[in-house]
């Protein structure tokens, strides 16, 4: 199924669907909308039928959805992940799918816990001028994201998993997360385990990102460091993502609805196209994913053919056409 989303969502979703169709993927699309547009029609940005359809179909390709800043409705993205228990947010940061001149050998995967932390939505004004936000960390959620990261490491021949934390300050909450990671790590002796404090991790990612392999983080740190990671390989227009739960998955780019460029026809659809390729792997179609990925890699060096965020001159539609042409010529 597909959720076009807000802002640049419908533009990049249309592009990814075209690429999938051209790749030979046999997909019957069920389209439902969520976000700003459904607020008027259904009185909520996340109608129940959207969640029911995801449960029924099991796999979705989703455009970004806008969340008002400092007021208005709470995040549809966060609510969807929590309601469907899509506990693992997976964001691969890979120079092969990047355009950076600085780093050509970054290859890390970020596993961000997707259902709790300060995203639990537990905030209140406790006195004039004093607001409180609760950070919720549970053993259950910490264990399952750590297991997910280690299982991925084993399946994909990854050597090292590092837990990213601030347990020197948040001894209870991040301390619990860290204890979970340590306990799970002890069950995977074939994978090296390490720990790194989040601020140091941010600095190390900027100066020597090649050292990182698999990172497992709580929700907020994962959100911030995955955007940092996107910056290392060329920008938010390039980094795919997936929200995975038990028997259900929603594939979406790491970027948001980019209201500053929405409707201008200039959005870079690559992050969603790569998310769609990962969706095909999840669906047991690695050959289709491979043909999309090979075409992407082969055009990334042709700067003028890329979208403007990557220094090129193409709009979304032109770029999509070029990518499809490349895919059919290289097979």
Angle between helical axes of 286-300 and 9-22 (0-180°, round to 10) = 110
Q: Which of 257, 278, 314, 320: binder of ligand NAD (CB under 6 A)? A: 257
20-to-65, 271, 288, 296 alpha-carbon distances in Å = 22, 14, 8, 13
From residue 76 to residue 105, the character string flagging contacts with ligand NAD as x (rule: CB under 6 A) and all else as - is -x----------------------------
From residue 222 to residue 241, the character string flagging contacts with ligand NAD as x (rule: CB under 6 A) and all else as - is --------------xx----
DSSP strand E in 205-317: where? 214-217, 242-245, 248-251
Structure tokens at 146: 């750590």
Of 17-25, 84-92, 111-119, 249-257: span binding ligand NAD (CB under 6 A): 249-257
All residues at 6 or more sequence positions from 48 whose CB lies less than 8 Å from its CB, including other chains: none
Q: What is residue 101's three-state secondary structure?
A: coil
Residue 258 contacts ligand NAD per CB under 6 A: yes
Q: Decide if 293 contacts 266 (C-beta within 8 A).
A: no
Could you say which DSSP state residue 115 is in? S
- Which residue, 259 or 286, is less far from ligand NAD as judged by CB? 259
Size of the site for ligand NAD (CB under 6 A): 21
Sign of CA dihedral 165, 171, 175, 176: negative
Q: Decide if 316 contacts 266 (C-beta within 8 A).
A: yes
- Which residue, 62 or 158, is less far from ligand NAD as judged by CB? 62
Of 19-27, 63-71, 183-191, 202-210: span binding ligand NAD (CB under 6 A): 63-71
Residue 309 contacts ligand NAD per CB under 6 A: yes
Residue 283 contacts ligand NAD per CB under 6 A: no
From residue 137 to residue 176, the character string flagging contacts with ligand NAD as x (rule: CB under 6 A) and all else as - is ----------------------------------------
Query: CA nearest 197: which of 172, 215, 219?
Result: 215
Ramachandran class of 7: left when φ > 0, alpha when ψ lies in -120 to 50, beta otherwise:
left
Active-site residue, selected from the candidate residues 62, 166, 174, 213: 166
Least gap, CB of 327 to ligand NAD (angstroms): 19
Q: Decide if 230 contacts 256 (C-beta within 8 A).
A: no
- Which residue, 174 or 223, is less far from ligand NAD as judged by CB? 223
Active-site residue, selected from the candidate residues 17, 62, 87, 119: 119
Catalytic sites, residue numbers? 119, 166, 199, 223
Q: Kindly list the residues in this chain that would bind ligand NAD in the complex (CB under 6 A).
A: 8, 12, 64-67, 77, 236-237, 252, 255-261, 267-268, 271, 309
């Amino acid at each position: 199924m597909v959720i076009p989303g807000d802002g640049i969502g419908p533009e990049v979703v249309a592009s990814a669907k075209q690429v999938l169709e051209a790749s030979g993927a046999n997909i019957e699309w069920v389209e439902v909308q969520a976000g700003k547009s459904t607020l008027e029609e259904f009185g909520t940005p996340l109608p129940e039928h959207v969640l029911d359809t995801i449960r029924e179909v099991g796999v979705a390709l989703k455009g970004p959805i806008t969340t008002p800043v400092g007021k208005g409705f709470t995040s549809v993205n966060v609510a969807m992940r929590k309601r469907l228990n899509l506990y693992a947010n997976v964001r691969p940061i890979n120079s092969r799918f990047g355009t950076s001149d600085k780093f050509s050998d970054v290859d890390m995967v970020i596993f961000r816990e997707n259902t709790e932390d300060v995203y639990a939505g537990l905030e209140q004004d406790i006195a004039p001028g004093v607001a409180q936000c609760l950070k919720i960390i549970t053993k259950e959620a910490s264990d399952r994201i750590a297991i997910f990261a280690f299982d991925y490491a084993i399946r994909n021949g990854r050597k090292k998993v590092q837990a990213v934390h601030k347990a020197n300050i948040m001894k209870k909450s991040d301390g619990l997360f860290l204890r979970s990671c340590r306990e799970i790590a002890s069950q995977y002796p074939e994978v090296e385990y390490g720990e790194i404090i989040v601020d140091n991790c941010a600095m190390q990612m900027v100066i020597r990102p090649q050292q990182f392999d698999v990172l497992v983080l709580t929700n907020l740190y994962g959100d911030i460091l995955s955007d940092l990671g996107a910056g290392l390989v060329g920008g938010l227009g390039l980094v795919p993502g997936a929200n995975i739960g038990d028997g259900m998955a929603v594939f979406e780019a790491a970027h948001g609805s980019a209201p500053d460029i929405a409707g201008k026809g200039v959005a870079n659809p690559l992050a969603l196209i790569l998310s769609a390729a990962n969706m095909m792997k999840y669906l047991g179609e690695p050959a289709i994913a491979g043909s999309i990925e090979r075409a992407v890699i082969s055009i990334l060096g042709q700067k003028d053919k890329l979208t403007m965020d990557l220094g090129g001159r193409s709009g979304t539609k032109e770029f999509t056409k070029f990518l499809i042409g490349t895919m059919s010529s290289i097979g």
